[in-house]
Amino acid sequence: MENNNNIDQTLNHLFREESGKMVSVLIKIFGTENIEMAEDVVQDALVKALETWKYNGMPDNPRAWLYRTAKNKAIDVIRRNKHSKLIDFSDPQKQLLTSGYTLETTMDNYWNEDGIKDDFLGMMYGCCHPEISQENQITFILKSLCGFSTKEVAKSFLTSPDTISKRLYRTKEYFRKNRISLQIPTNKQIEERTHTVLSAIYLLFNEGYNSTHADQLIRKDLIGQAMLLCKSLLSNKRTKLPEVYALMALMCFHSARLDSRITREGELILLSKQDRTSWDKVLIQTGEKYLNHAAFGNNLTTYHLEAAIAFQHCAAQQYEDTNWKEILMYYDLLLEIADDPIVFLNRCLVILEYKGPKEALIVLKTMKNTSMLDKYYVYHATLGEIYKRLLNTNLSIKHYERAIKLTQSKQEQQFLKDKIAGKC
């Protein structure tokens, strides 16, 4: 009974990193109509690892052990279903799975390292099919590619396992009915499809980064998974596009500051009050490297600009050193690409720092569509801050109070209450 804790940890870690790859290969073998079959094999392999390792101790190469076990289980499944109609063996390569002469060799061929990587990426593009809703995309990614249990996915999205099961069911049905091909798209489609994948990854990241979870472990898990997915796109020649590097850089800069954003009690800390010495310098440097890689081609994306902005914040030794001029320039460009009210409001906050509250208010008033914005807590929080700096306490409090009503997040509510109380 050697160190069971250690075994649990290794397995958990392995599972997060490898289960998605195993599931992808198995879905390629069994077909998209048999996703459960693939998930079951991986689950069985995990259970077997847990039982065997606790009894015999950990093998020298746990990853290889897990893969071998999954592969052998897949062979069993094929043998059992050789004559059933469940698996479609009509493809010439799959036909070879039906003969004892070729089953094991063919199975081995499915599990070569490059193939595994490609299948994983193919699966990622499949999960992010444009016709699947983004909500369903990231639910399915967490379950199938990141090895989350239904319960863990539910916890991540602060919803019930039931809701998650329904979402998963709908996505699987879509796969089944439409026979989605799990392949890296053709060069013609690659930019567009990668963009959809990146949106899902960034959403996942933000779920961890901005989420209202008190649970740090879940947050870090989500962030780690999002970065892992993005990194795997960077490991393939065809998918390492500038936009992918840009998002990777952005996530590095953001996560470098993760621990300084929230107090131990779970309260948000403003950028100006964060302890900059606690920022992860190695991660910032890594982000810089990615950002340099992002600077080729002529496609300037929102991730490029957001990363450039985040980098400016990381580069400032103290809040007072922030290069607002440069940041404002990036926001101007950002607004050109993405006519997004959040970007607009964030740009107002930059103007507030760079040119003062009067200027910021003038710009804010140029905004159209204020009826929609009226329901936005950020809009009111921004107005609250502007009026506060204009020393118009009444209007400031009015807008802060409205903002408190509009946000669900306890941390943000507390933060806004502190603003009213003059604590920050």
Window contacting another protein (CB under 8 A); options: 90-98, 276-284, 321-329, 412-420: 90-98
- CB neighbour burial string for 207-232, b if at least 16 within 10 angstroms, e if fewer: bbbebebeeeebbebbbbbbbebbeb
> 98 or 414, CB closer to another protein?
98
Which residues between 185 and 204 bind another protein (CB under 8 A)? none
Window contacting another protein (CB under 8 A); options: 92-100, 267-275, 310-318, 414-422: 92-100
The conformation of residue 143, written as its DSSP 8-state character, comes to I
Regarding 101 and contact with another protein (CB under 8 A), the answer is yes
Lay out the site mask for another protein across 275-304 (x = CB under 8 A, - = otherwise).
------------------------------
Give how far the C-alpha of residue 17 lies from the chain's centroid of Cα atoms, to the nearest Å: 14
Task: Report residue 268: phi and psi, to 5°.
Answer: -70, 140
Q: Three-class SS of residue 268? A: strand
Give the separation between CA 337 and CA 87, rounded to whole angstroms.
46
Enter the tokens of residue 285: 């440097």
The conformation of residue 140, written as its DSSP 8-state character, comes to H
> 110 or 415, CB closer to another protein?
110
State which of residues 100, 113, 237, 422 lies at the interface with another protein (CB under 8 A).
100
> 13 or 80, CB closer to another protein?
80
Enter the tokens of residue 343: 């970007």
> 4 or 109, CB closer to another protein?
109
Give the separation between CA 240 and CA 170, rounded to whole angstroms.
30
Give the separation between CA 149 and CA 161, rounded to whole angstroms.
9
Window contacting another protein (CB under 8 A); options: 34-42, 102-110, 203-211, 337-345: 102-110
Nearest approach, Cβ of residue 106 and another protein (Å) = 6
Contact yes or no for 106/93 (Cβ under 8 A) = yes
> 29 or 309, CB closer to another protein?
29
State which of residues 4, 9, 95, 323 lies at the interface with another protein (CB under 8 A).
95
Contact yes or no for 161/155 (Cβ under 8 A) = no
Give the separation between CA 348 and CA 26, rounded to whole angstroms.
50
Q: Which string of DSSP letters, residue by residue, matches 199-240? A: HHHHHHHHHHHT---S-HHHHHHHHHHHHHHHHHHHTSTTT-
Radius of gyration of the chain (CA): 25
Nearest approach, Cβ of residue 108 and another protein (Å) = 8
Nearest approach, Cβ of residue 102 and another protein (Å) = 5
Q: Which amino acid is located at 16 in the chain? A: R
Regarding 84 and contact with another protein (CB under 8 A), the answer is no
Give the separation between CA 200 and CA 77, rounded to whole angstroms.
32
State which of residues 52, 72, 81, 98 lies at the interface with another protein (CB under 8 A).
98
Nearest approach, Cβ of residue 67 and another protein (Å) = 17
Regarding 149 and contact with another protein (CB under 8 A), the answer is no
Regarding 87 and contact with another protein (CB under 8 A), the answer is no
- Among left, alpha and beta (phi > 0; psi -120 to 50; other), residue 184 is beta
| Binding-site size, another protein (CB under 8 A) | 13
> 100 or 422, CB closer to another protein?
100
Window contacting another protein (CB under 8 A); options: 59-67, 104-112, 119-127, 305-313: 104-112
Enter the tokens of residue 81: 């279903």
> 51 or 91, CB closer to another protein?
91
122: closest CA among 179, 184, 201, 172?
Answer: 184
Which residues between 106 and 135 bind another protein (CB under 8 A)? 106, 109
State which of residues 10, 72, 81, 102 lies at the interface with another protein (CB under 8 A).
102
> 55 or 101, CB closer to another protein?
101
State which of residues 5, 56, 84, 105 lies at the interface with another protein (CB under 8 A).
105
Nearest approach, Cβ of residue 90 and another protein (Å) = 10
Lay out the site mask for another protein across 337-376 (x = CB under 8 A, - = otherwise).
----------------------------------------
Contact yes or no for 45/141 (Cβ under 8 A) = no
Enter the tokens of residue 295: 């600077």
Regarding 93 and contact with another protein (CB under 8 A), the answer is yes
How far lies 239's CA from each of 20, 111, 198, 371, in Å?
A: 18, 21, 11, 41
Q: How many CB atoms lie within 10 A of CB 206?
A: 15
State which of residues 99, 133, 181, 393 lies at the interface with another protein (CB under 8 A).
99
Which positions lie near another protein, rule CB under 8 A?
A: 92-93, 95-96, 98-102, 104-106, 109
